[in-house]
Chains A and B, each alone.
Chain A
Amino acid sequence: MKTARIGLRGPRGFTLVETLVGLAAAATLMATIVACSITLQRSFFWSADYAEQSLAQLRSLDFVTRDVRGARGVWIDGGGEFLTLELPATYASYDPQGNPTSAPVTPVIVRGQPQYGDPAQPVSIWYYRNGDSLIREQWMPAVGGWSVAAVATGIKSFQAQLVGAGNLVRMTVTFLPKLRDGQEHQNRTAMSATVAGRAMVLKWDGTRGGGGEP
């Protein structure tokens, strides 16, 4: 009689050495997986944070550029932390968020210059940092409207200065990363740009990404 012996070794189990080696290998593998997962996750969030900050930079620049180009007056106060713009009252009505809800008014020519709306009641716009937000505040006296919006969050500083002949505005916004490793200064995202009024000139004039204080 022939007896099949297949499977007889199975029930014998593992030796202690095999078990320990297996556990060690498994632990190493799991540790590697966990470490990789954490690293990948951190990297992913860092990348996402950086991308969001870059987009916030673009948005901040687009907002300020749009307003500066249309401004008829620019003032900088508070050591450069407050940028005040005065724009013509181009619209007759605005919604509660400060967005125009009517077509631009037809300008009149006063002493050789087109004049929109009541020159005594211009639209005033302020940019400044409040906490970690870049705030855009708008006052529309002609319609009694006032709005405040956070253009970007996670910012460290906001600085503006007049350059050139005084008709150029250079602004710098510095962002803080959401994940910090104790070396904040190395991981700060800085943006600087110079924008002009009606000269329709826009140029980058600084560094982006890891630049530290400009």
Chain B
Amino acid sequence: MSPEVPTRRPRREAGSILVVAMIAMGVLALLAAAALHEVGNRHAVTFHSQSWNEALSSAEVGADIALAAMNASMSSPTTAWAAWTPANATTFPKTWTPALAAHGGDGNNKVYARITVDDVIVDPSGQKWFRIRSTGVAEVAGTARAGIEPAALDAWGMKNHRSVLRKTRFTTDLTGGALRLPQIARTVEVVAGAVNARLLKRALAVRSSITLSGDTSIDSFDSSDPHKSTGGLYDAAKRQDRADVATDGDGTMSHFNDREVRGSAFSNGGSIQGTGGVVGPIFDNFSTTLPAVTTPVWGVLNVTPNAIVNPPGGMTLVGGPTGTPQNYKVSELTLSSSSVLTLAPHAPGQTSYVNLWITGPLDINGLGAIQQQAGVHLTLYCEGNVSIQGGGIVNQNGRAHFLKIFGVDPASGTRTFTVGGSGTFVGVINAPGFDLTVTGASSFHGAAIARSAAISIAEGFHYDEDLGNLNIGPPDRYEFASWIEDIR
């Protein structure tokens, strides 16, 4: 019997294969993990950017929702805020969180908005403006991962958490559970004001007809631009061509007699006659609404005087500061001979506001005058006929927006509004129910709205382009006036 010689395989060979395989797998796993880590971080930042922009869209949608409610409140104040808290017409601030919009599809994140509307902003005329703060929130796809997006470094290499542009929320939920974490929030603040606050986009706008005659010339300047005015005043050497003239009536009813109009002419059908002096385009497809002027609504009213009729030795009315104007209501205002009504600021050199409501006629003639001192804003509401002769209102500010004369639409018939004599009128007229006559060897600086207008003026009608931004009318709808993002 032959002895068996055992054969042996070296143990090391079997063992080293396993170890090598494990090491190889480990190396590959590390490589894969590193790659996934890098990819995941970049992927996360892409999601952050997407959600960052979705959050802004959501915030702006919230502002639009609030604007829709405000506009609805013009016609239906009791129901416009039904979805808001509180739901009544007058209590502010109001808040609303709309229901989440339906969504679906790959990469589609839920978005959320929380809207607050307050009315704490009050302009100098006492009109309230709405401030909307809308916070839009968007989910961030994926896990709570910071990504590779660094904070912006300053010049010294410093950074803090506020410097990160897209501030992702990993632990703080702004939505009360409506959205999951992580999420990104952005807030916009929008201020909305009355649309028809800016009616004076043109030199002259009327409901029916315009007649220009004599030496009348209509041009423009801009009291806010030193290149288009001198010291805020009209300068013939800097006159402009933006003095547009418009009628909402049939153009055939208007005749310009080839007088110079340095701007465009508009009519609502029909051709305006005698437009040889119009330097700009002429349109016959114009249509607008010149809103009726109504009597003011004031919460506080001075009980005296009841009427101002040639006060012996003159009279002084004192204005109030911004937000608290002094309101007066009189049955008549007549200044003749040398009677003077002085309007003074509440403190020397201060901006001050006087509102004067005249339920009867306004008649200034002879040497009678209203002396509107520097800093005083005067707003007149006139229910009766108006006649201002011989520079009857001396606007010492020299700027038209300091003097606003409203002609309240009569219940029936029409009223007359006459500016005549040899003085200079610096102010604005909004009297769409009045037949306006501007005549004499004088000049007119400002803008006018009337039922009809007959202009025969020796030293020119000068439209102040800056009046295009002036708030002069009651609101009938709102528009955004400013937009900022709260970047805290």
Contact = CB atoms under 8 A, between A and B. Distances in A.
B39 to A, nearest CB: 8
Interface stretch (A55-63, A73-81, A155-163): A55-63
A99 B163 contact: yes
B155 A55 contact: no
Contacts of A149: 152-155, 163
A212 interface: no
A150 B123 CA distance: 40
B45 interface: yes
Given A114-B129, A200-B483, 14 more contacts: A3-B2, A62-B52, A63-B165, A66-B165, A69-B485, A99-B488, A106-B121, A107-B191, A112-B469, A149-B152, A150-B153, A150-B154, A151-B152, A200-B60
Interface in A79-114: 88, 90, 95-97, 99-101, 103-104, 106-109, 111-114
Nearest to A147: B154
B163 A6 contact: no
A204 interface: no
A150 B150 CA distance: 11
17 contacts: A4-B7, A59-B49, A59-B165, A88-B484, A90-B484, A97-B159, A103-B488, A107-B131, A109-B122, A109-B123, A109-B124, A112-B123, A112-B197, A113-B482, A114-B481, A116-B484, A148-B155
A116 to B, nearest CB: 7
Interface of A: 1-4, 6-7, 44, 48, 51-52, 55, 58-59, 62-63, 66, 69-70, 88, 90, 95-97, 99-101, 103-104, 106-109, 111-114, 116, 136, 147-151, 198, 200
B160 A113 contact: no
A198 B4 CA distance: 98
Given A114-B481, A149-B152, A4 B5 contact: yes
Contacts of B121: 106-109, 114
Overall SS of chain B's interface: mixed
B42 interface: yes
B483 A198 contact: yes
Contacts of B476: none
A95 B162 contact: yes
A55 B149 contact: yes
Interface of B: 2-7, 35, 38, 42, 45-46, 49, 52-53, 60, 120-124, 129, 131, 148-149, 152-155, 158-160, 162-163, 165-166, 189, 191, 193, 197-198, 322, 401, 466, 469-471, 480-488
Contact of A97 (B149, B162, B189, B322): B162
A63 B3 CA distance: 88
A100 B487 contact: yes
Contacts of B53: 62
A68 to B, nearest CB: 11
A41 to B, nearest CB: 10
Given A1-B2, A44-B35, A100-B487, A112 B149 contact: no
Contacts of B148: 52, 55
A198 B166 CA distance: 21
A116 B163 CA distance: 23
Contacts of A99: 160, 162-163, 487-488
Nearest to A109: B123
